[in-house]
Amino acid sequence: MAGGWLVGGLVRDVLTRRKLRSAAVPFESGPLRMARVAEDERHGLVAVLRDFAGSCARYTVPWADLPDTVPMSERDAALHKVVEETKAVTPAAMREAVTQVALAGLFGPEAKAQATAAARSEGQRERELHAVLIFHLLHASQTDVRALVETPAGRHAKTAVSEAASALGIRRGDIFGRTGELAKRLLPVGFASGSGPLAAGWLRVLHREVAELNQRLNTRLADADAELEPDLRAAMEVSAATVRASAQLLGLIDGAVLGIGATVRQWETAQPTLVHMVDKLSDILDEWGGLIPEAQDALRAPDGELAPRLRRLRALLPTPPVVAHPAIATPGIVPATAAGAGEPGGSVSSELSERLHGIWSSLKKGE
């Protein structure tokens, strides 16, 4: 039955028929590279295979039938099983599924050790970021935090938090809970500059890598001949649209953190908006983790192989993203007016990084 899906040709692209959730799957086998898992109304989960067998077309296969359709390594088979069990159809869920397989040792002892160390490091980063955000909130609430930095425990802490809660019109316990949730949401995003808890998260790093690729494509396009120009231009335009959309979202997320007082005070409204923006950013950048190496390999190809490699790259390109601007009236969401607001040079992101760096430096000195 699985073969019928492939013999029948291009069935349908489940990613454009309706807004169903999907995620890139980091399979290692050649035929499965750039594959995605997606929700499907009839089959539950399906695999969307890009450029299958060099056809420059997308084929859809029921997820359960995939092992009978394409040969899988032990690593890919383990990942396939966990994805099916956990229904990992978002980028965040896929990362959790990959971590689960690695921690179980199914990717080998070295991958298990790396996953264990990464999980431990992320836990520490979240705790440190939580502390930074609490102090950022206290400072934004006009609370005198100097004594608190020197003695972060005892009556100084209780008094400072009580004053901030009173200024914000919320309960004292809400400060700890809401900033903790904010720290968790910010981990994959990170910040424009800094280290430790203020380092760039994987989404911001990926945004920068797409921007670098876009520059390389622009440079190569400048002297491209007529045969290469259409495919290079397509890749350049999609990557440029990705950079613009992700920079806009990064700027808005940074604005929400910069305006932390309003964000925490109106958490019931700001939190779902923030979650939506991080999820949207994940969706926009999700495919580029696998696509960037493909593009780099294509650009390094010798002249005789460059044209077919670029045609394949064009077949792998995602749909250019479009981000509808969130309602700026949403409490805590500060508009990013500059195109590069999500970058180190953007005013919102730079100001936020500077403030948080000052807080983190003070906390480190007070250890």
What is the predicted pLDDT for the residue at 12? Answer: 33
Q: One-letter amino acid identity for 274?
A: L
Domain termination site, one of 64, 85, 107: 107
The answer for residues whose C-beta is within 8 angstroms of residue 183's C-beta and 6 or more apart is 126, 129, 130, 133
For residue 252, tell me if it sits in a domain.
yes
What is the predicted pLDDT for the residue at 152? Answer: 53
For residue 162, tell me if it sits in a domain.
yes
Co-location of 134 and 56 in the same domain = no
Co-location of 166 and 308 in the same domain = yes
The predicted model gives 322-343 an average pLDDT of 47
High-pLDDT (> 70) share of the chain, %: 83
> What is the average pLDDT score of the chain?
84
User: Residue 221's closest CA among 284, 293, 295?
Assistant: 295
For residue 186, tell me if it sits in a domain.
yes
The answer for residues whose C-beta is within 8 angstroms of residue 60's C-beta and 6 or more apart is 5, 11, 12, 13, 14, 40, 46, 47, 48, 49
Domain termination site, one of 77, 107, 137: 107
Residue pLDDT, tens place only, 23-72 = 999 998 888 888 999 998 887 899 998 877 666 678 899 999 999 988 89
Q: Is the dihedral of CA 100, 288, 188, 191 positive or negative?
A: positive
For residue 114, tell me if it sits in a domain.
no
Domain total in the chain? 2
Domain termination site, one of 75, 107, 139: 107
Co-location of 97 and 132 in the same domain = no
Q: One-letter amino acid identity for 90?
A: T
Q: What confidence tier does 195 reach under pLDDT thresholds 50, 70, 90? A: confident
Report whether pLDDT(331) > 50: no
Which segments of 39-108 does DSSP mark as H helices, in order? 66-69, 74-86, 91-103
Lowest mean pLDDT among 77-81, 289-293, 332-336: 332-336
The structure tokens 């044209």 sit at: 307
Co-location of 150 and 89 in the same domain = no
Give residue 182's domain range: 120-365
The predicted model gives 124-149 an average pLDDT of 84
For residue 115, tell me if it sits in a domain.
no
For residue 359, tell me if it sits in a domain.
yes
Q: Angle 250-255-258 (CA atoms, 0-180°, nearest 5)?
A: 125
Co-location of 124 and 68 in the same domain = no
Co-location of 155 and 212 in the same domain = yes
Q: One-letter amino acid identity for 223?
A: D
